[in-house]
């Protein structure tokens, strides 16, 4: 069994998840990537992470809507590396629409991927963490886990749920050497947010540039996007010994958005 720590990161073939995976690899960790990607896309992401460090990087294509596949993701990490030291729940999708036009199937998919998948990964990973007396669980929530915006019923509900799940599991594992925290970023310019910009423009009858400047960055007093690198560094801190007394927290990283 390797002395290296092992991190499982869902939704990690692009955006925030990929950035966290690369940062963890730079620290010498083994990394298990996950995402719904083509074989070529998955291998490109794996190489992009593998090039950052000397740990081992593997890819697992678990569908975050399928509990059996999620269980296999954690089981594979445990079999391959001897355990899951760090679990980052990052997988997420988005849809923007008025409630009366919000497709029921989009609600179901967002709740499944953004919220329920985290229940399944945590449920599978905690027994091993308890047995080893240590573990770090980091849930990538959102400023929308703390406040709401119109046209995002499913996303806001899921992210509020992630914050509640974080607090509950933190209390359950407080004496087991495990910390559980939620990072709540403001807007980060990732492929997911680029899609939100386009959808919001359509929903509100605005141009995409108007949405970016007058809707999205208007909410953040810094008038700047949060960067993937900043979130990755925060996740690394929470994974370190220095973060061992931080648990059950919903940590805003939003340029002052939720301070208003």
- Model confidence pLDDT, tens digit, residues 201-232: 998 999 999 999 898 898 899 999 999 999 99
DSSP state of 112: I
DSSP state of 6: E
Task: Kindly name the residue from 81, 107, 151, 155 that is annotated as catalytic.
Answer: 155
pTM metric for this prediction: 0.94
Domains of the chain: 6-186+226-252 (3.40.50.720), 187-225 (no CATH)
Strand ranges inside the chain, DSSP E: 6-9, 30-34, 57-60, 86-89, 135-140, 178-185, 250-253
Contact 161, 230 (CB under 8 A): no
Q: Mapping DSSP to helix (H, G, I), strand (E, B) and coil, where does residue 257 land? A: helix
Residue with the two structure tokens 């569908």: 63
Query: From its phi and psi, is residue 65 left (phi > 0), alpha (psi between -120 and 50) or beta?
Result: alpha
- Contact residues for 63 (Cβ-Cβ < 8 A; gap 6+): 36, 69
* 92: its two tokens: 């997420």
Residue 59 phi, psi dihedral angles, 5° rounding? -120, 140
pLDDT at site 191? 78
- Contact residues for 20 (Cβ-Cβ < 8 A; gap 6+): 9, 12, 88, 90, 231, 232, 235, 236
Q: Residues of the chain whose pLDDT is less than 70?
A: 1-2
155 is catalytic: yes
- Contact residues for 218 (Cβ-Cβ < 8 A; gap 6+): none
Contact 50, 30 (CB under 8 A): no
pLDDT at site 244? 97
> Could you tell me how many residues make up the chain?
260
């Amino acid at each position: 069994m390797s002395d290296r720590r092992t991190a499982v990161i869902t939704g990690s073939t692009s955006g925030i998840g990929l950035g966290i995976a690369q940062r963890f690899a730079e620290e010498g960790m083994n990394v298990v990537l996950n995402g719904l990607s083509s074989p070529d896309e998955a291998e490109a992401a794996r190489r992009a992470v593998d090039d950052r460090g000397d740990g081992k990087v593997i890819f697992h294509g678990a569908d975050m809507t399928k509990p059996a596949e999620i269980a296999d993701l954690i089981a594979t990490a445990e079999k391959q590396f001897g355990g899951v030291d760090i679990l980052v729940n990052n997988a997420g999708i988005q849809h923007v629409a008025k409630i009366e036009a919000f497709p029921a199937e989009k609600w179901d998919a967002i709740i499944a991927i953004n919220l329920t998948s985290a229940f399944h990964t945590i449920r599978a990973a905690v027994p091993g963490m308890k047995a080893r007396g240590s573990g770090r669980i980091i849930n990538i929530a959102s400023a929308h886990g703390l406040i709401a915006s119109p046209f995002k019923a499913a996303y806001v509900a899921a992210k509020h749920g992630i914050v509640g799940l974080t607090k509950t599991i933190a209390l359950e594992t407080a004496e087991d050497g495990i910390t559980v925290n939620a990072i709540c970023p403001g807007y980060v310019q990732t492929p997911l947010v680029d899609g939100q910009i386009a959808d919001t423009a359509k929903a509100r009858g605005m141009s995409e540039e108007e949405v970016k400047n007058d809707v999205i960055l208007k909410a953040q007093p810094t008038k700047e996007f949060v960067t993937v690198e900043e979130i990755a560094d925060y996740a690394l801190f929470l994974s370190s010994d220095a973060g061992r007394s931080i648990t059950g927290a919903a940590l805003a990283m939003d340029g002052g958005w939720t301070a208003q």
